[in-house]
A and B are shown apart, each in its own frame.
Chain A
Amino acid sequence: MLPALLLVGAAAWVPARWSSTDPKTLELLRGTPVNCLVVEQASPEFAGEAAARGLAVLLAAGAGEAPEAIARRAAELRLAGVVLEGGFQAPGVERARRMLGQAGLTLIELPPRALLRPEGGGPVVGTAQGLWPGIRVFDDGAVRAAPTGGPWVETNTGLLRYLRAASDAAIWIANRPPPKAIFPVERYLVAIADAAIAGARWVVALDEDFQARLYARQAKALAAWERIAAHLRFYEDHGEWRSWKPASRLALIQDEQSGALLSGGVLDMIAVKHAPVRPVPRKLLSAEALRGARVAVNVDPAALSDEQKEILRGFTRSGGVLLSGPPGWKFPLPEGDRITLEEKDQERLNEIWREVNSLVGRRNLGARLFNVSGMLSNLAAAPDGKQAVLHLVNFTSQPAENITVHLAGSYGRVRLLSPEAPERELAPYAIEEGVAVEIERIASCAALLLDWKE
């Protein structure tokens, strides 16, 4: 019989890559939220110990491997399923899916971004192609500046927020740290938060040095692992946030063909401006999807159907401001290993950026944040509208201090929650557009939990 955790299913899996086949290393997971291991090899002993501990183990197959063979091996070991990373021939995938289905096992596909389809119907939508979150630096160590004048933030949130809006499945980003790199633990904390604020999960993947030290139970590695666990726990303890919908008066209409699968696109650019934004997948465009929005950015006007055009006409007739992407310009699609824009496309994107920037201006589209360069945020509201959460992630290597948040709306109670500090009540004060709060310090990440004033 499968342990209870396995029965919960993929939606509740908190995944991590695990390179050790030593069953004793599983003790490192005790007390952590990690309940799903993505492995490249497993022994019966390892599989048995994992099952006894209630851990779901997924056997990973890379491009070039035969999906059926991996599926057979997973079934023999009585694992929870298989993860296919990269591109595979469809017939092989279908045979593996049938084989796994008959055995009651799960198939998770993490295709290249170019093949990513949020409506795929699997339990998990995701990819292993991602940026390593952090501040982009030049080879000489200087920080690269973004168009805003602030540091350039490498993030996967644009893609993940789009996927979150386009699919009800669990969203995974399974990128690994760049090879031969050794990172401080803070970079892992940021990777966790970068996915979590978009309602997704990062498949925890440690660099080789960290893995070796962790499996050897070195004190510093254990302490760092505990911090990683604390950050995972923080977002799992508030799992309901994952399903909360983006709250913004700015809607961004795009799809896979208009840049949604790239990083560094329009969604990321707006996020760097610290303006809340509501991604609206083109296929889901409706009057309801635009309800409450005052500004809409339509990246690819030519892709709209007549019905969708009418919806946008209705939006503008009711006072909404619509900004359309440059005519005749098609967003490039991700191709091979390229998941960001090339220089020439970047210039075109800057044209959109200038327009968006002037449209957004000083408007409060849900929240305005101050002194947050090197940070990203995301505002989401509970289905009943009584609560909202403003996620904050600090990508810099120093704590962020003296942050001010102007919230559009009448919030009576504001709490600051973070993984490594006790919950704090903040004192909201009235401003023209709602209330404001001040935050003294954020280490890696935090969330403002906002209670609507009755």
Chain B
Amino acid sequence: MTRRELLGVFAGAVAARAKEPPAAPVAIGKAAGYDGDLTEALGRLFDQLGGLGRLVKGKTVTLKLNLTGSPALRFQGHPLGATHYVHPRVVGAVVHLMGRAGARRVRLVESCWASGGPLEEYLLDCGWPVRALAAAAPAVEFENTNNLGKRRRYARFKTPPGAWIFPAYDLNEAYLETDVFVSLAKLKNHATCGVTLALKNCFGITPASIYGDDAGLAEPNENPGKGRAEVLHFGKRGPSRSAPQELDPRSSRADGYRVPRITAELAAARPIDLAVIDGIQTVTGGEGPWIRGLKFVEPGLLIAGWNPVSTDAAAMAVMGYDPQAGRGRPPFRDCDNTLKLAETLGVGSADLARIEVRGLAIEQARFPFPA
């Protein structure tokens, strides 16, 4: 860590002490499988949080899906939603509940892996029932945010003081044209960040047209075909020059340093209003089938909360981890703790003592992931 980075962390910590990050209740519930009544199970969670109506009535709700990696890659032949993608039945239930709670428009978004095509087609490639999803609420839209898509310009989202990597991010305008932003995530590990939950899911709001390995140097490449390893993970090159460049090009290039910070910055720049974590079926050991040592598991859990850091903290506790663990402790063996970094930026609190858990207690829901 360079002196500047150290000072940055220190400055962030001082800022955090000055103003305690917000904590919010988290609800945990059981769901035996995806064939049951997920509308009822999720509706109960949202009711335990105080209900969706006050948040979404008359609003444009944007649901960021977790569709990690190519849909062609399956783990042991399981459906994608049973392993490393959020399950379409969970998505359908959330969409339906949003519509029932009076949302004016529900927009499903994802920056689809290596693709600038329509999200509907990507979802068909995932085996998702697109027509059923479109009919789950009165006005459902689909948008691939990996490039401009049907929009004319990117929207710039500034990171708060104390940010480490970028001063701002250029994102698809769909994220600006949003009243309520929901991270619809999966309960799973992540090889780089330790866990993939509501926060890490939103790493995927970055367009590969700008932040992808084949992003244009000067202007975005509107036909992206690669991931974001070179720009975001390892900082081997910068994003398209049309977007803000790195704050400190001499900072660490290690992905265990960069990815948690970028994730935290994104959560600060584009705040998450609701976090929903699908832990009914999932994998342990990594975020997708390209990671060796994955294991299919069935925790049978759904987790939701208004604050993504608090929700992720409760989810981590359910997974058997300490949400305040530092680098070197599981699951953050070779990386910094995204939750703590987000806490530093004022996104939310990872302090379990400040987080009210409703529904199932953490002990009742505990499903240990690998240490």
- A410 CB within 8 Å of chain B: no
Name A402's contact: one of B113, B128, B223 (CB within 8 Å). Answer: B128
A selection of 18 A-B contacts at a CB cut-off of 8 Å is A142-B292, A145-B72, A145-B73, A149-B72, A149-B113, A150-B72, A358-B223, A362-B121, A370-B121, A370-B127, A371-B124, A371-B125, A371-B126, A373-B71, A374-B72, A397-B77, A402-B129, A404-B124
- A218 CB within 8 Å of chain B: no
- Cβ–Cβ < 8 Å partners of A151 in chain B: 72-73
**Apart from A145-B73, A150-B72, A396-B77: 10 A-B pairs, beta carbons within 8 A:** A142-B292, A149-B72, A150-B73, A151-B72, A151-B73, A371-B71, A374-B72, A397-B77, A401-B79, A402-B128
Minimum CB–CB distance from A348 to chain B (whole Å) comes to 19
* B124 with A370: CB separation less than 8 A: yes
- B114 CB within 8 Å of chain A: yes
- Cβ–Cβ < 8 Å partners of B125 in chain A: 370-371, 373
A373 to B80, alpha carbons, bound, how many Å?
A: 12
A98 to B223, alpha carbons, bound, how many Å?
A: 61
Minimum CB–CB distance from A144 to chain B (whole Å) comes to 11
* A149 with B127: CB separation less than 8 A: no
A396 to B79, alpha carbons, bound, how many Å?
A: 13
Name A150's contact: one of B70, B77, B127 (CB within 8 Å). Answer: B70
Known: A148-B72, A149-B73, A397-B77. A371 touches B127 (CB 8 A): yes
- A398 CB within 8 Å of chain B: yes
A429 to B128, alpha carbons, bound, how many Å?
A: 17
Minimum CB–CB distance from A376 to chain B (whole Å) comes to 13
- A403 CB within 8 Å of chain B: yes
In order of increasing CB-CB distance, the 9 nearest A-B pairs are A150-B72, A373-B72, A398-B77, A370-B124, A402-B127, A149-B70, A371-B127, A404-B124, A149-B72
A398 to B72, alpha carbons, bound, how many Å?
A: 14
- Cβ–Cβ < 8 Å partners of A142 in chain B: 292
Instruction: Return the chain A residue nearest B126 by Cβ.
Output: A371
Name A149's contact: one of B77, B114, B124, B292 (CB within 8 Å). Answer: B114
A145 to B125, alpha carbons, bound, how many Å?
A: 16
Minimum CB–CB distance from B129 to chain A (whole Å) comes to 7
Instruction: Return the chain A residue nearest B129 by Cβ.
Output: A402
Minimum CB–CB distance from A369 to chain B (whole Å) comes to 9
A401 to B72, alpha carbons, bound, how many Å?
A: 13
Binary per-residue interface labels of chain B (129-168) against chain A in the complex, 1 for a CB within 8 Å, 0 otherwise: 1110000000000000000000000000000000000000
- B74 CB within 8 Å of chain A: yes
- Cβ–Cβ < 8 Å partners of A148 in chain B: 72
Minimum CB–CB distance from B279 to chain A (whole Å) comes to 22
- Cβ–Cβ < 8 Å partners of A370 in chain B: 121, 124-125, 127
A323 to B316, alpha carbons, bound, how many Å?
A: 53
- Cβ–Cβ < 8 Å partners of B72 in chain A: 145, 148-151, 373-374
Instruction: Return the chain B residue nearest A372 by Cβ.
Output: B125
Binary per-residue interface labels of chain B (333-367) against chain A in the complex, 1 for a CB within 8 Å, 0 otherwise: 00000000000000000000000000000000000
Residue from B77, B79, B125, B128 with most neighbouring chain A CB atoms (10 Å): B125
- B117 CB within 8 Å of chain A: yes
* B77 with A401: CB separation less than 8 A: no
Chain A 290-325 interface residues, beta-carbon cutoff 8 Å to B: none
Instruction: Return the chain A residue nearest B70 by Cβ.
Output: A149
- Cβ–Cβ < 8 Å partners of B127 in chain A: 370-371, 401-403
Chain B 71-94 interface residues, beta-carbon cutoff 8 Å to A: 71-74, 77, 79
Instruction: Return the chain B residue nearest A148 by Cβ.
Output: B72
Instruction: Return the chain B residue nearest A397 by Cβ.
Output: B77
Instruction: Return the chain B residue nearest A145 by Cβ.
Output: B73
- Cβ–Cβ < 8 Å partners of A358 in chain B: 223
Minimum CB–CB distance from A437 to chain B (whole Å) comes to 12
Instruction: Return the chain A residue nearest B124 by Cβ.
Output: A370
Binary per-residue interface labels of chain B (85-124) against chain A in the complex, 1 for a CB within 8 Å, 0 otherwise: 0000000000000000000000000000110010001001
* B121 with A373: CB separation less than 8 A: no
A358 to B224, alpha carbons, bound, how many Å?
A: 11
Minimum CB–CB distance from A143 to chain B (whole Å) comes to 8
A151 to B114, alpha carbons, bound, how many Å?
A: 16
A429 to B131, alpha carbons, bound, how many Å?
A: 11
Minimum CB–CB distance from A401 to chain B (whole Å) comes to 6
- Cβ–Cβ < 8 Å partners of B117 in chain A: 362
Binary per-residue interface labels of chain A (364-382) against chain B in the complex, 1 for a CB within 8 Å, 0 otherwise: 0000001101100000000
- Cβ–Cβ < 8 Å partners of A404 in chain B: 124, 130
A151 to B70, alpha carbons, bound, how many Å?
A: 11
Minimum CB–CB distance from B166 to chain A (whole Å) comes to 28
A148 to B72, alpha carbons, bound, how many Å?
A: 8
A429 to B134, alpha carbons, bound, how many Å?
A: 15
Minimum CB–CB distance from A435 to chain B (whole Å) comes to 13
A30 to B131, alpha carbons, bound, how many Å?
A: 47
- Cβ–Cβ < 8 Å partners of A396 in chain B: 77
Chain A 113-155 interface residues, beta-carbon cutoff 8 Å to B: 142, 145, 148-151
Minimum CB–CB distance from A91 to chain B (whole Å) comes to 51
A396 to B76, alpha carbons, bound, how many Å?
A: 10
Instruction: Return the chain B residue nearest A142 by Cβ.
Output: B292
A401 to B71, alpha carbons, bound, how many Å?
A: 13
- Cβ–Cβ < 8 Å partners of A371 in chain B: 71, 124-127
Minimum CB–CB distance from B288 to chain A (whole Å) comes to 11
A194 to B127, alpha carbons, bound, how many Å?
A: 23
Instruction: Return the chain A residue nearest B123 by Cβ.
Output: A370
A33 to B319, alpha carbons, bound, how many Å?
A: 56
A278 to B223, alpha carbons, bound, how many Å?
A: 27
Chain A 388-429 interface residues, beta-carbon cutoff 8 Å to B: 396-398, 401-404, 429
Instruction: Return the chain A residue nearest B128 by Cβ.
Output: A402
- Cβ–Cβ < 8 Å partners of B79 in chain A: 401
- Cβ–Cβ < 8 Å partners of B113 in chain A: 149
A402 to B127, alpha carbons, bound, how many Å?
A: 5
Minimum CB–CB distance from A374 to chain B (whole Å) comes to 8
A396 to B124, alpha carbons, bound, how many Å?
A: 19
Minimum CB–CB distance from A397 to chain B (whole Å) comes to 6
Binary per-residue interface labels of chain B (58-70) against chain A in the complex, 1 for a CB within 8 Å, 0 otherwise: 0000000000001
A62 to B358, alpha carbons, bound, how many Å?
A: 75
Minimum CB–CB distance from A365 to chain B (whole Å) comes to 15
